[in-house]
Amino acid sequence: MKTVVNEPSLFEHMFKNLTFPVLIFEIADENLRKYRIYEVNDAACALLNYSKEELLSKEVLSLYNHLAPEVLKTVKELLVKDGKISTVLDLPDRNENMITVEVNASILNIGNQQFIYCMLKEFSTRHCHHDALEVENNYLRTVMNTIQSFILILDQDGRINKWNQYTEQVSGYSLEEVQYKKFWDVFIENPEKQFVVNNYLSGKIPTVYENFWRMKNGEKRFIKWKSKTVEDNEGNLQFVLATGVDITDKVLSFKELEKSKEKYKALVSSMQDIVFTIDQSLRVTSVHGNWITSNDFSKDVFEGKCINDFFNDSRNQQKEVQKAFSGINTEFEWDFEINGKTHYFHSVLSPILLHNNVIKEVVGVTRDITEKKNLEEHHKRIYEALTSGMILQDTNGKIVYANKNACSILGYDEQSLANMTSLNAEWDAEDASGEPFNGEEHPAMRTLATGEEFSNVEMFVFNPMKNEKRWILVDTRAIFEAGSSNKIEYVLSTFHDITEKKEMDQIMQQSQKLALIGRLASGVVHEIRNPLTSIMGLLKFAEEGQDQNKIFDYLPVMKMELEQINRFTNEFIELSYSKESNWTVSDLGGIIRYSLNLLKPEIADHNIETRIENNCNKDILVKCIEPHLKLLFINLIKNSIEAMPYGGSLTVKLECMGEKVLVSVIDTGKGISPERLKHLCEPYYSTKEKGTGLGLMRSMKIVHDHNGKIDFFSEEGEGTIVAIELFLN
């Protein structure tokens, strides 16, 4: 009999009645850039406290806007790469309460359409990585809201994802009013709007730019922006981090200067520096400043001249001037010989914006840095004499100076290094564990960001001259501006090549590992082969004998040998595997008394006097696996008993030290020689005639499992002290 089932209705009924909450997202493109909520079941609606209609109309990104963009990017990349992902996240319900859920998501291909099938499970137990994620997000939000500048996070289509409190206060908009809207539809006016849209959607987002933004109250503010784009592994734009500084007052100041030439001249003429203006033909139109008169020069030296007449590297400096005419502030250094003396200058160029945003001139503020240059040359001679490598980086991380040893160690000439930063991919850097070393994690960049000094940082970097990677050991120090204790001017990095030392260390470590493996293999063979030889001999004797029933007489001996093998293998397995045990808070004094009472017959047989000395004024409570600690002290007390075959004294001393307790097991036995002492806790190195050394290895493992520390002190003929540190609960 054949039963016909209406399959679509059946599966729809099953989906709606699933006990687990399920959301299905429809993917608009293969990179998961555009998607919508396609279907939800009743369990999902109940979990998130929405009706089905509300959830289906909800913006997808609103479920994840509490996550840092970098975290969301990682989740998406893993889903695209593997086709499925399982993780724990917070999701907001209708009242913005965060619900912790286990998410199991997979990509489904149905015909020409792609879907994400997402099954949720309410997760009551928070994990450490979940807490770390929440702390990281709170930290990022706190940092963003502390900064008194515009900070916006935009998606690849220019929609506003997040911003900080400063942006909300100055713009007059709440985030809810503009979230997921394209920023140019809210803040940019025509005709500039079309230019911004074309640049953004074509991917040609400038790193630094300036423009007017219209606030909610209609006020226009001129803002200088810096943008950082974040891309996925295929080079697709994921999001843009834009930071802006309101420079409206600066722009208005330039307008006022344009309106009042006399006021401008009076202002700049009183300055100790040189102030000059350059027109679009690259000719100096005016020169002011006390430097001219105080150094017995006339304005004719510069005024009316083309910049090519006195800039020594006119091609590069002409580029900097053109940058200023494009609306970008720029700076550079140059030198000029006057009356047989070379003067060194530092110039800062800024565009002069007229009321219609037209730039007809740029203004340059120039300072005589001759004395500073002479001092730098003096320092340079000192730096060249250093035996270690040394580089100096400015506040942007750009290398401004490198000594000869730095060039040799890093494998670049001085000119090449001068165009590099710690962020350059050419370093191909790795950290001490062999993981890729992000340029932003470079100690020099971290010192620039925090002012903190770093020492003995190991890095593995590519040396192009030697065509190989080399190990270097780096120290960094911040150099603060004169008279300032917190404004960093440069960061100084010193380093030296430790490749040969690292290679020698690796050779030594490998030798030690091989020696240990050899000793371990030898011990394993010895411990198993001896009983097996005995068993094989008995079997052969029985096989060759005429009385086949004789084998039954040998069974007790064979069983004893097999039990010896079993005991050995159990000891060996215990070193690498521990059965799951419950962690409890136990009284350490009670554990020690239990261990002593258990061995009371052996203690009496050996005529040993025992005592416990406790200087703690409270119960000694430790978080532990109680059976393991009992085994630890039983092993140590048994070792002490065996070291005193003709009697002696055994003392267990307990001393509380802040958050820790020190337990000392002290015997008056025969002691251990210095040569044997340094090999304790190694396999198959024992102070006992027939010992395997695995007992002490097991004891060390128990201590380490409890985050403790164990040390051995002994002198031949004087006895042994085993000192154990454990954390109090």
Where b means 16+ CB within 10 Å and e means fewer, 531-560 reads beebbeebeeebeeeeeeeeeeebeeebee
Q: How far apart, in whole angstroms, are the C-alpha atoms of residue 286 and residue 291?
A: 14
Beta strands at 648-657 and 608-614: parallel, antiparallel or unpaired: parallel
Model confidence at 480: pLDDT above 80: yes
- Cβ proximity of 487 and 394 under 8 Å: no
- Give the pLDDT confidence score for residue 363 in this predicted structure: 86
Dihedrals phi, psi of 686, to nearest 5 degrees: -130, 150
**Bond into 601 cis (ω within 30):** no
Residue 517: which pLDDT band, with cuts at 50, 70 and 90?
low
Query: 603-630, pLDDT tens digit by residue?
Result: 988 999 999 999 888 889 999 988 888 8
664 versus 55: the higher-pLDDT residue is 664
DSSP string covering 600-649, please?
HHHHHHTTEEEEEEE--SS--EEEE-HHHHHHHHHHHHHHHHHT-TT-EE
Residue 718: which pLDDT band, with cuts at 50, 70 and 90?
confident
| Helical residues (DSSP H) of 163-289, grouped into ranges | 165-171, 175-178, 183-187, 192-201, 248-259, 261-269
Cβ within 8 Å of residue 254, ≥6 positions away: 350, 352, 353
Model confidence at 340: pLDDT above 50: yes
Q: How far apart, in whole angstroms, are the C-alpha atoms of residue 619 and residue 650?
A: 22
Residue carrying the six token digits 């960049």 = 445
- Cβ proximity of 225 and 152 under 8 Å: no
366 versus 681: the higher-pLDDT residue is 366
Cα torsion angle, 574, 577, 578, 579, sign: negative
Instruction: Extract the tokens encoding 106.
Output: 């997979």
Q: How far apart, in whole angstroms, are the C-alpha atoms of residue 22 and residue 43?
A: 7
Q: How far apart, in whole angstroms, are the C-alpha atoms of residue 139 and residue 261?
A: 49
- Counting residues of the chain whose pLDDT is more than 70, the rounded percentage is 78
Q: How far apart, in whole angstroms, are the C-alpha atoms of residue 720 and residue 669?
A: 7
**What number is the average pLDDT over the span 261-266?**
59
Model confidence at 586: pLDDT above 80: yes
Beta strands at 719-727 and 709-715: parallel, antiparallel or unpaired: antiparallel
Q: How far apart, in whole angstroms, are the C-alpha atoms of residue 394 and residue 346?
A: 15
3-state secondary structure 307-368: HHHCCCCHHHHHHHHHHHHCCCCEEEEEEEEECCEEEEEEEEEEEEECCCCCEEEEEEEEEE
Across 318-327, 337-346, 594-603, least confident range = 337-346
Beta strands at 719-727 and 468-480: parallel, antiparallel or unpaired: unpaired
The order of strands in the sheet holding 648-657 is 608-614, 648-657, 660-667, 719-727, 709-715
For residue 596, give the amino acid letter. L
- Cβ proximity of 626 and 586 under 8 Å: yes
Instruction: Extract the tokens encoding 231.
Output: 């891309």
Instruction: Extract the tokens encoding 332.
Output: 């550079």
- Cβ proximity of 536 and 565 under 8 Å: no
- Give the pLDDT confidence score for residue 654 in this predicted structure: 93
DSSP string covering 259-297, please?
H-HHHHHHHHHTSSSEEEEEETTSBEEEEE-HHHHHTT-
Q: How far apart, in whole angstroms, are the C-alpha atoms of residue 444 and residue 476?
A: 6
Q: How far apart, in whole angstroms, are the C-alpha atoms of residue 226 and residue 304?
A: 35
- Cβ proximity of 316 and 330 under 8 Å: no
Cβ within 8 Å of residue 536, ≥6 positions away: none
Residue 173: which pLDDT band, with cuts at 50, 70 and 90?
very high
**Burial zone of 578 (CB within 10 Å; 0-12 exposed, 13-18 middle, 19+ buried):** middle
Residue 686: which pLDDT band, with cuts at 50, 70 and 90?
very low
Side-chain-side CA neighbours of 337 within 13 Å: the count stands at 3
Most confident of 57-61, 100-104, 248-252, 579-583: 100-104
Model confidence at 588: pLDDT above 90: yes
Dihedrals phi, psi of 280, to nearest 5 degrees: -70, -15
The order of strands in the sheet holding 35-40 is 35-40, 22-27, 113-122, 98-110, 84-92
Residue 135: which pLDDT band, with cuts at 50, 70 and 90?
low
Nearest to 641 by CA among 631, 650, 632, 633: 650
**Burial zone of 657 (CB within 10 Å; 0-12 exposed, 13-18 middle, 19+ buried):** exposed
**What number is the average pLDDT over the span 306-321?**
77
Residue carrying the six token digits 């990682």 = 74
Residue count of the chain, please give it.
Answer: 729
For residue 473, give the amino acid letter. L
Residues forming a β-bridge with 263: none
3-state class of 711 per DSSP? strand
Across 402-411, 622-631, 697-706, least confident range = 697-706
Q: How far apart, in whole angstroms, are the C-alpha atoms of residue 82 and residue 99?
A: 26
End-to-end CA distance of the chain: 69
Crossing angle (nearest 10°) for helices 69-82 and 128-146: 140
Nearest to 240 by CA among 184, 200, 186: 200
Model confidence at 345: pLDDT above 70: yes
Across 99-113, 194-208, 677-691, least confident range = 677-691
Most confident of 28-42, 138-152, 304-318, 360-374: 360-374
DSSP string covering 649-677, please?
EEEEEEEEETTEEEEEEEE-S----HHHH
* CA triple 630-632-633, angle to 5 deg: 70
**What number is the average pLDDT over the span 39-54?**
87
- Cβ proximity of 299 and 385 under 8 Å: no
**What number is the average pLDDT over the span 440-467?**
88
Q: How far apart, in whole angstroms, are the C-alpha atoms of residue 468 and residue 448?
A: 29
- Give the pLDDT confidence score for residue 119 in this predicted structure: 86
